[in-house]
């Protein structure tokens, strides 16, 4: 609201923000604080109502511009805060495995992983060392943030694991090489039904995600 006060030497216009929530952006340069005293200029007694209203209009326009600038700045801060984290992913494979390369490319394209490939001369030994259950084995074995990712696991499931960090889970696995899973796409489309399994260091396991079969063209 606006309050007009006058004395023998000057006319003052006091603007008070009507909503306390606007004080949240009072820290931006040039934005009106909770209470601002604006000196309109010398006056012998009160200015005419017309002059007061003209000045009031100018102040209102100025305040709106300041609020717009502050809103744009806040929008920039929000955009920065919303930038998703990118994880480092190391993919171990038998040398020359093409579907492993295809899966890693999809991880990279998701924008959530900085992926590198490493040719491993003894994949069975690596899988044993990392605790991959034998009946969940696939072609490649990846490592990210201390977790083990076995086979053609969709990138969104890996991100979910990294964000939820369910206690006791050692990693995720898609056993075998299901047609239509990431990196195993076919020209005619279609997909086998498959499960993403969360396995634990104590031998326990559970279905983390299920993908239904789809018919190709």
Give the model's confidence band at 20: pLDDT under 50 very low, under 70 low, under 90 confident, else very high: very low
Q: What is the mean pLDDT of residues 176-202?
A: 95
Question: Would the pLDDT of 128 be above 90?
Answer: yes
What is the C-alpha to C-alpha distance for residues 192 and 173, in angstroms, rounded to an integer? Answer: 16
Nearest-CA neighbor of 140 among 187, 185, 90?
90
SS3 193: coil
| Structure-token match 């909770």, residue found | 34
What is the C-alpha to C-alpha distance for residues 46 and 44, in angstroms, rounded to an integer? Answer: 6
Q: What is the mean pLDDT of residues 71-83?
A: 57
Give the model's confidence band at 81: pLDDT under 50 very low, under 70 low, under 90 confident, else very high: low
Give the model's confidence band at 75: pLDDT under 50 very low, under 70 low, under 90 confident, else very high: low
What is the C-alpha to C-alpha distance for residues 22 and 33, in angstroms, rounded to an integer? Answer: 9
Is the four-CA dihedral 154, 157, 162, 163 of positive or negative sign? positive
């Amino acid at each position: 609201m606006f309050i007009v006060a006058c004395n023998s030497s000057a006319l003052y216009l006091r603007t008070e923000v009507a909503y306390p929530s606007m004080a949240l952006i009072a820290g931006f340069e040039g934005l009106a604080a909770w209470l601002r005293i604006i000196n309109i200029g010398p006056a012998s007694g009160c200015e005419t109502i017309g002059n007061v209203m003209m000045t009031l209009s100018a102040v209102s326009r100025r305040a709106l511009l300041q609020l717009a600038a502050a809103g744009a700045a806040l929008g920039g801060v929000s955009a920065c805060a919303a930038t998703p984290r990118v994880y480092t992913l190391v993919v171990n494979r038998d040398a020359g495995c093409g579907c492993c390369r295809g899966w890693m490319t999809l991880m990279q394209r998701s924008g959530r992983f900085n992926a590198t490939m490493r040719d491993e001369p003894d994949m069975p030994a690596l899988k044993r060392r990392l605790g991959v259950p034998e009946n969940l084995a696939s072609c490649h074995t990846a490592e990210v943030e201390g977790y083990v990712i076995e086979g053609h696991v969709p990138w969104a499931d890996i991100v979910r694991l990294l964000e939820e960090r369910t206690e006791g889970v050692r990693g995720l696995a898609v056993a075998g090489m299901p047609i239509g899973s990431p990196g195993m796409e076919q020209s005619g489309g279609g997909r086998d039904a498959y499960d993403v399994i969360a396995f634990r260091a104590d031998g326990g396991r559970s279905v983390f995600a299920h993908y239904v079969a789809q018919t190709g063209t």
